[in-house]
Amino acid sequence: MKIIEVKDYKEMSQKAAEYIIEKVCHNPKIKLGLATGGTPIGTYQNLIADHKQNGTSYANVMTFNLDEYIGLSGENKNSYRYFMDEQLFNHIDINKKNTFVPQGVAEDIQAECERYENLLEEYGGIDLQVLGIGGNGHIGFNEPGTSFQSQTHVVNLATSTINANARFFNQIEEVPVQAVTMGISTIMKSKEILLLASGESKNNAMVQLLNGEITESFPASVLKKHPCVTIIADRAAVAGLKIQC
Ligand code: PGA
């Protein structure tokens, strides 16, 4: 794993955007795996600014999001489809038909998991997957204990995840308790992974990721087995860790 330490959230967001833009310019048909949450918002803002200023085009880019809450339709402001439209897709020249997010309100949710996994397969998989990390080490919504063999599946969200995400909702009772997420093996099939981490609240997770063992009880640890992972983390996230750049 290659680690790039930066000063703060702003610099992480700039560096991450530069990283993605370079890949998009190199391969205008790139298939990006995208994440939601607080971490990538600044990155997406930088992608939008660059698109407006420099004209980087996403006309031929395809995107696949990691996860979606069960029970929330794309019109719901707290759904991840809505988040992606608002935070990125509505502001760049991407064809919305080429943006995929699992359906949180599918009639048959198991069938939806299979459909999403097959979709990824059909399109030849993800070239660059952007990931955040949960305080408990989750990637996507793969909570501690998830099998490293897992494919797209339904998860019960950990209490710590529900608490962490409550900040986006009016009240904690509104946070869905289940989600559809790409599995760990789905994520590991990406050709390349870019993990972003910012702030003190991610410090324990980063310590465990970099110093701990590979174990299903800490999902992100699986990334040590991936041949091409870059981490962009700010000082607060990696405080106390020895980073060799
Ligand atoms: P956050 O979430 O970006 O809102 O901190 C990260 C994650 O849960 O993967």
Interval 92-150: pLDDT, tens: 999 999 999 999 998 999 999 999 999 999 999 999 999 999 999 999 999 999 999 99
> CA-CA distance, 198 to 14, in Å (whole number)?
13
Residue 241 has pLDDT above 80, yes or no: yes
Average pLDDT of the residues of the chain: 97
User: Residue 243: is its pLDDT beyond 90?
Assistant: no
CATH architecture, domain defined by 2-238: 3-Layer(aba) Sandwich (3.40)
Nearest-atom number in ligand 1 for the CA of 198 is: 5
> Residues lining ligand 1, CB < 6 A?
37-39, 132-134, 138
Q: What is the pTM of this model?
A: 0.97
Centroid of ligand 1 to alpha carbon of 37 (angstroms): 5
Cite the active site residues: 67, 136, 138, 143
Ligand 1 pocket test: pick from 34, 66, 69, 133 the residue with the most ligand atoms within 8 Å of its Cβ: 133
